[in-house]
A and B are shown apart, each in its own frame.
Chain A
Amino acid sequence: METTTTTFELDKTFPGIVMADTRSGYEGYLIPSDQLLKVCADLKNKHGYDLLSSVTGVDYLSEGKMEVVYHAFKSSGGPALVFKCQIERVDPMEMPSVTSIWPGADFQEREIWDLYGIKFTGHPDLRRILMWEGFEGHPMRKDWKEAFYEEEKKPLKSRWPQGNHKYAETKTPYGDNVRFDAGFDPEKWVPTDPEEALYTALKKFKTEVKDGIQTDHIIVNMGPQHPSTHGVFRAVALLNGEEILSLKPVLGYLHRNHEKIGERNTYIQNIPYTDRLDYFNSMYNAWAYSLAVEKLLGLEVPERAEYIRVIMGELSRIQNHLILFGMLWNDLGAYFTPALYAFEERELILDIFESVSGSRMMCNYHRFGGVVRDVNPMNMQKIKDLAFDRLPRKVEEFDKLLSENEIFVSRMKGVGYLSPEDAIGYSVTGPTLRAAGIPYDIRRVNPYGIYDRFDFDIPVRHNSDLLDRYLVRVEEIRQSIRILQQALNTIPEGPIITGKPSYQIKVPAGEAYGRIEHPKGELGFYVVSDGSANPYRYHIRTPSFVNITSLEKMCVGTKIADFVTILGMIDIVLGELDR
């Protein structure tokens, strides 16, 4: 259950520099910003904290402080090391960037700059990432208000008892939440070019003379409307002929500031919202969020609920990987045959989700301290039919259909290489990391729930190319079926939730980080509570967002056509990439 207790004592290792965080309910250490780089370098090089999982900001408005929270892990396993760096909340706020130590902090620091306005000195490419260049303000700050702002927190007072319905468009979108500089004249305002910084960030456009012929490097935009990007994702590549010289992903087309919405919501209202992050795996999102809040509440989950969570989770993992295979083949030109074969099994799994939770994709099934509804014997039989009979059969059929296909193998073998050191450095988790030879699976290295009871293997391969990432996932499906079979054989009867669920719970003040092994990698929820009914800070460390940091590294040197496959294999979902 405990995933973030620290046995390694940072304040004793760096006496006089590092202080323990003594606020009630908080854990970890406070590092002054001028010593941050020194301590971090030591942490990575001497103490083995090589995987910086999550970096995020918190705005303590009333205390006049901005805080950046780091969660570092060892790739060999074990609990988190939480450390924080606080600065005065006076613009301009500056803090050293840790990208030189952990390159995986790249996008996460850009996100903090974008949403909180903390400048990271030494960051190689500090631009906005989710909002567009030229956006005014930093939306996650506590004093920033969105359009149609009504109240700081839900439930809104206008809904009851005098809830006369009003359409949003009849209201003024902006009230006192818009500020203009003195002397601002809209007539004379010239917008800055939002793309300029992006193209400057790619290597400078240059002309070469090769064999007496003048050659140009060209810039190619893939997306945001491109069938291979699985949504509104855009990548800008600088090409030399067909070869990629440098590549920058452009995100945020589906950005809705999920975290801001989450901080306006009450705790329970966030559960249906988490379903919309990675909409293929809503069972996992709510699980990770529940883990974090349960840690704050100190709730125990009943046995049967733990088993149900595992069963639903592993079913979800199987269908996620099946979709990936199907869509990958679609990208590679096999059109829809494998995709529809994959969808057939997925349909059967979604039928179970629908029957159990009420919805095929937006399950809204987990609650704090259990699950919302029991699985009745009819559904249990359906799951058993799948786990013991149909899925093992179909996985082998899928394997036969795809794995040895020569065209497929030649497109995948040796493409998109990422060295194990880079994979850890870029904070890559999930199947991509395991294909690089590192057996890092949170279910095993830092077990949550009841995963320590099951007998299963962590599939690992060592070539770290696309083929290996594919084969690791095939093996993962087989292991998921194994876990399913064990769970179905041993599931006990009993209650499915601790206590009576309430629509407004008060959560004790403190912070918690709940993380699980999502099919795409590590999914973490960082929740800070101030003791009220709404979370003070609600951050999601999504696997898609962090894994995409390594995209440029994997793509440089390959052909532009391989970009499609490499991106497909990272397995991104735009709902959680852009949040």
Chain B
Amino acid sequence: MYGKGLLKGLSVTFNRFFQSYLEDIRWLVKKYPKVEFRSSKDTRGTFTVEYPEQSVIIPEEFRFVPFLVYDEGEHGEKNIRCTSCGICAKACPPQCIWIVRSTDPETGRPVPQPAEFYIDFDICMNCGLCAEFCPFDAIKMDHDYEISSYTRNLADKERLMKPASYYESIRPENFKREETAREAKAAAKAAAKA
């Protein structure tokens, strides 16, 4: 029969149409935000998420522009982990990381501290190679993707620095793994010294 294929296709559309209403009613009865359910294999009905009221769940490995990790000292001082070794600047594919190394004002020799640290977020391609190759766990990829602004996004050291506790909150598993590795390394070093 001519038109049978057309009707068959339309039956799929009708099915979906009714399902979306049934789902809405079902989720009215339950708690509404069904964001978790959205990414499961049984998801049905309306698939869209009402951003910015709701937003999809960000997985731990999600990466957006980098930030610099600092450890909080006992008196609230910010001990930046970066030693300005320049590996991130060398690994960066679009070359958007600019580092000025500190020098000791008296001796003139380099100090393991960045005097200035810039990341041009307009150029950054969010590849995460800087975080991947940093030997000091000092630069990490962020989860905050809402950075649109009226001006250009050139981030300096102040804007880039975020505490280790923030890093722990966005990437708990990575943080735990790295801390254990660091402690093991420190213990091995102490054992070698003793």
Contact = CB atoms under 8 A, between A and B. Distances in A.
A501 B99 contact: no
Contacts of A161: 84, 86, 99-101, 110
Contact of B12 (A156, A162, A397, A406): A397
B130 to A, nearest CB: 9
B91 A269 contact: yes
A7 interface: no
Contacts of B98: 158-160, 163-165
B193 interface: no
14 contacts: A154-B95, A159-B92, A160-B98, A164-B98, A265-B93, A268-B91, A341-B16, A354-B59, A355-B61, A356-B61, A389-B41, A397-B12, A407-B6, A504-B90
B132 A362 contact: no
At the interface, is chain B mostly helix, strand, loop or mixed?
mixed
Contact of B101 (A160, A265, A337, A358): A160
Contacts of B40: 385
A348 interface: yes
A443 interface: no
Interface in A371-403: 372-373, 382, 385-386, 389-390, 397, 400-403
A275 B127 CA distance: 10
Contacts of B186: none
Given A163-B89, A401-B12, 4 more contacts: A165-B120, A344-B43, A389-B41, A390-B41
B86 A503 contact: no
A319 to B, nearest CB: 15
B99 A269 contact: no
Interface in A340-365: 340-341, 344, 347-348, 351, 354-359, 362, 364
Give the top 7 A-B pairs by smallest Cβ distance, nearest first.
A404-B5, A163-B98, A272-B127, A160-B86, A161-B101, A385-B41, A355-B59
A13 interface: no
A21 B81 CA distance: 52
Interface in A14-66: none
User: Is the interface on chain A under 10, 10 to 19, 20 to 34, or 35 or more residues?
Assistant: 35 or more
Given A162-B101, A163-B99, A272-B93, A358 B63 contact: yes
A273 interface: yes
A405 B61 contact: no
Contacts of B100: 161-164
A330 to B, nearest CB: 15
Given A269-B93, A272-B127, A386-B41, A503 B87 contact: yes
Contacts of A273: 93
Interface in B77-125: 84, 86-87, 89-93, 95, 97-101, 110, 116, 118, 120, 125
A404 B4 contact: yes
B17 to A, nearest CB: 10
B139 to A, nearest CB: 13
Contacts of A401: 8-9, 12-13
B49 to A, nearest CB: 10
A164 B101 CA distance: 10
Contact of A159 (B63, B95, B132, B141): B95
A406 B5 contact: yes
B93 A400 contact: no
A358 B9 contact: no
A503 B133 contact: yes
A330 B70 CA distance: 50
Given A161-B84, A364-B128, A337 B13 contact: yes
A344 B12 CA distance: 15
B21 interface: no
B47 interface: yes
Given A357-B61, A501-B132, A347 B47 contact: yes
A401 B6 CA distance: 8
Nearest to B133: A503
Contacts of A347: 39, 47
Contact of B141 (A158, A351, A358): A358
Contacts, number: 146
Nearest to B91: A503
Interface in A138-169: 154-156, 158-165, 167
B8 A400 contact: yes
A409 interface: yes
A503 B61 contact: no
A155 B40 CA distance: 43
A348 B89 contact: no
B118 A163 contact: yes
A390 B154 CA distance: 44
Nearest to A276: B125
Nearest to A272: B127
Nearest to B110: A161
A89 to B, nearest CB: 30
Contacts of B6: 405-407
B113 to A, nearest CB: 12
A156 B96 CA distance: 10
Nearest to B39: A351
Contacts of A501: 132-133
A376 to B, nearest CB: 8
Contacts of A269: 91-93, 129
Nearest to B3: A406
B166 interface: no
Contacts of A404: 4-5, 8-9
Given A503-B90, A504-B90, A362 B125 contact: yes
Interface string B134-169: 000000010000000000101000000000000000
A269 B96 CA distance: 13
Contacts of A402: 9
Tell which of B6, B8, B39, B93 has the most Cβ of chain A within 10 Å. Answer: B93
B95 to A, nearest CB: 5
B127 A364 contact: yes
B12 A155 contact: no
A270 B92 CA distance: 10
Contacts of A167: 152, 154
A359 B65 CA distance: 12
A400 B9 contact: yes
Nearest to A385: B41
Contacts of A390: 41-42
A155 B86 CA distance: 10
B27 interface: no
Contacts of B16: 341
Contacts of B154: 165, 167
